[in-house]
Amino acid sequence: MTTTAQSRRQFETLTQAAERTGLSVRTLRRRIAAGLLPAYRSGPRVLRVDPADVDRLMVRVPTA
């Protein structure tokens, strides 16, 4: 079975996620520690997040 680029899961670094969302890396790390943001580790130092998971942290505020 071959994996196409569209079906392959994409990950981003915490720095990339922070720049994209305007959150700090520290905030993202706190969300990971609290269990609110799943993260994926590859080796002792490499930590990645799924952009869709990061986007789910952003909740629309209802307006009156």
The CA distances from residue 61 to 52, 58, 64, in Å, are: 19, 9, 10
Quote the domain boundaries for residue 29.
Answer: 12-57
Domain annotation covers residue 1: no
Give pLDDT tens digits for 1-56.
555 656 788 999 999 999 999 999 999 999 999 999 999 999 999 999 999 999 99
Does 4 map to a domain? no
Count: domains in the chain = 1
Q: Where does residue 45 rank: exposed (0-12), middle (13-18), buried (19+ CB within 10 A)?
A: exposed
Q: Is 62 domain-assigned?
A: no
> Is 51 inside a domain boundary?
yes
Contact 50, 16 (CB under 8 A): no
Query: Is 40 part of a structural domain of the chain?
Result: yes
